[in-house]
C-alpha cells in the first residue's frame, strides 16, 4: 500500500471513530439534561399516569444504552425517527432544510474564498504598506464582531435604514433564483464578514513565511518580479495551511449558521435545530447534532487528505 493510501485509510478510520465518540456525547448530553422530556412536553399540570403513559409511548422507559444502540443503528441507515412534537419524519425535514443551509453556505463560500485569497495576496504584495494595513483592520474588525450582532447591524443599515434588502430571508421551494439570492443577500454578507478575516490572515501569513526561503531568493536572482514570485512560487508551496483554514471555515459556514439563520428567520437546519431545542425534542436535537458533526468531520478529513497530498514527499516517495 502506498503512503498516500495508508494515510487515507488512517484518516478515514480516525474520522469514523470521532463520529462515534461524538454520537455518544450528543446522546449523553441530552440524557443528563435536568427534567423529564415527557413532563416538559405535557406541562406541569399533567398527572403522573399521563406522564408514565407518554414515556412508554416514546420508549423512554427503556435503559439509555438500549435506546442509544437503537438510535445509532437507525441513524446509520438514514432513519432518525419522528419528531416528538409534530410527529413528522426527521430525515425528510432535515433533507429539505439542509438544502437551504448548503445553498446559503455555498453562496458565502463562493464570495469569501476568492476574496480572501485575493486580499491575502494583496497583503503580501504590499506588505506593511497602507493597503495591507487598511485591509487587515477591515477583516480583523469583521471577525471581531459576533455574527449575530453583525447581522443586526446589516439589518439596521440595509433593511431598516436604506431599505435595500429584506430583514427576513423568506425563501421557499420553486422560488426564482434571482429572488432567492435577493432574499439571502444579508445572511450571505454576514457569513462572508464572519469568515473572510481568518482565511485572509492565514493566506497572508503562510505566504510571508515563505518569502525568505532559499528558492524564493533564487527566483528573485533570476529577475522575476514580486507578483510572479508570489503567485507561481510562494502560493503553491503554501497550499496546505491555506486549505486547512479554508476547509475549517467552510465547516463553520455549514455548522455555524445557526445564529445567522435565527437572526434572519432563514428556513435552514440551524433554525430547525433551535426551534426544537426550545421544545426539548430529543430526536431532532440528536439528528441535527449528528448531521453537524458529520459535515464538520468530513470537511476536516478532506482538508487533511489534500494537505497530505500537497506534500511532495508523500506524492513522490523514494
The domain limits of the chain are: 92-280
What is the 3-state composition of the chain as percent helix, strand, coil, each rounded to the nearest 5? Answer: 75, 0, 25
- Per-residue cell: 220: 528573485
Q: How far apart, in Å, are the Cα atoms of 52 and each of 46, 55, 57, 185, 223?
A: 10, 5, 9, 48, 82
Choose among 293, 256, 276: nearest CA to 81.
Answer: 276
Beta bridge partners of 89: 82
Distances (CA, A) of 127 to 62, 223, 276, 315: 63, 20, 48, 33
Residue 41 neighbours by CB distance under 10 Å? 16
pLDDT in the model for residue 313: 54
Tell me the C-alpha distance between 150 and 190, whole Å: 6
What cell was used for 33? Answer: 439534561
SS3 (DSSP) at 89? strand
Q: How far apart are CA 288 and CA 94, in angstroms?
A: 8
In 211-310, which residue ranges form alpha helices assigned H by DSSP? 214-221, 226-229, 235-237, 239-255, 258-263, 269-277, 282-309
Q: What is the CATH number of domain 92-280?
A: 1.10.3720.10
Q: What is the phi/psi pair of residue 82, to 5°?
A: -120, 150
Return d(Cα 298, Cα 300) in angstroms, integer. 5
List per-residue pLDDT tens for the chain, 318 residues long: 567 677 778 888 888 898 889 888 888 888 787 766 776 666 666 777 777 777 777 777 788 888 888 888 888 888 888 888 778 888 888 888 888 888 888 888 888 888 888 888 888 887 777 887 888 888 888 788 888 888 889 899 998 888 888 888 878 777 788 888 888 889 999 888 888 888 888 888 888 777 777 777 777 777 777 777 777 777 777 777 777 788 778 777 777 778 888 888 888 888 888 888 877 788 888 888 888 888 888 888 887 777 767 655 555 555
Amino acid at each position: 500500500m502506498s503512503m498516500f493510501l495508508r494515510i487515507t485509510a488512517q484518516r478515514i478510520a480516525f474520522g469514523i471513530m470521532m463520529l462515534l465518540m461524538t454520537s455518544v456525547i450528543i446522546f449523553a448530553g441530552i440524557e443528563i439534561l435536568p427534567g423529564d422530556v415527557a413532563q416538559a412536553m405535557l406541562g406541569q399540570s399533567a398527572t403522573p399516569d399521563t406522564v408514565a403513559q407518554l414515556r412508554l409511548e416514546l420508549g423512554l422507559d427503556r435503559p439509555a444504552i438500549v435506546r442509544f444502540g437503537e438510535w445509532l443503528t437507525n441513524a446509520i441507515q438514514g432513519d432518525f425517527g419522528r419528531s416528538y412534537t409534530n410527529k413528522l419524519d426527521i430525515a425528510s425535514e432535515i433533507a429539505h432544510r439542509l438544502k437551504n443551509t448548503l445553498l446559503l453556505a455555498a453562496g458565502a463560500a463562493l464570495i469569501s474564498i476568492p476574496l480572501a485569497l485575493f486580499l491575502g495576496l494583496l497583503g503580501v504584495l504590499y506588505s506593511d504598506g497602507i493597503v495591507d494595513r487598511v485591509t487587515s483592520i477591515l477583516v480583523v474588525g469583521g471577525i471581531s464582531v459576533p455574527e449575530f450582532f453583525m447581522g443586526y447591524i446589516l439589518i439596521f443599515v440595509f433593511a431598516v435604514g436604506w431599505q435595500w434588502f429584506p430583514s427576513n430571508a423568506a425563501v421557499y421551494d420553486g422560488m426564482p433564483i434571482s429572488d432567492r439570492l435577493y432574499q439571502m443577500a444579508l445572511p450571505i454578507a454576514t457569513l462572508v464578514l464572519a469568515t473572510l478575516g481568518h482565511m485572509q490572515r492565514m493566506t497572508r501569513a503562510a505566504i510571508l513565511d515563505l518569502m525568505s526561503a532559499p528558492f524564493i531568493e533564487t527566483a528573485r536572482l533570476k529577475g522575476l518580479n514580486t507578483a510572479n514570485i508570489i503567485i507561481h512560487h510562494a502560493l503553491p508551496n503554501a497550499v496546505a495551511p491555506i486549505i486547512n483554514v479554508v476547509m475549517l471555515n467552510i465547516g463553520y459556514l455549514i455548522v455555524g449558521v445557526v445564529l445567522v439563520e435565527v437572526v434572519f428567520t432563514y428556513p435552514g437546519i440551524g433554525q430547525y435545530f433551535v426551534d426544537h431545542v426550545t421544545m426539548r425534542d430529543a430526536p431532532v436535537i440528536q439528528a441535527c447534532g449528528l448531521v453537524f458533526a458529520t459535515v464538520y468531520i468530513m470537511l476536516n478529513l478532506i482538508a487533511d487528505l489534500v494537505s497530505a497530498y500537497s506534500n511532495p514527499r508523500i506524492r513522490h516517495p523514494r
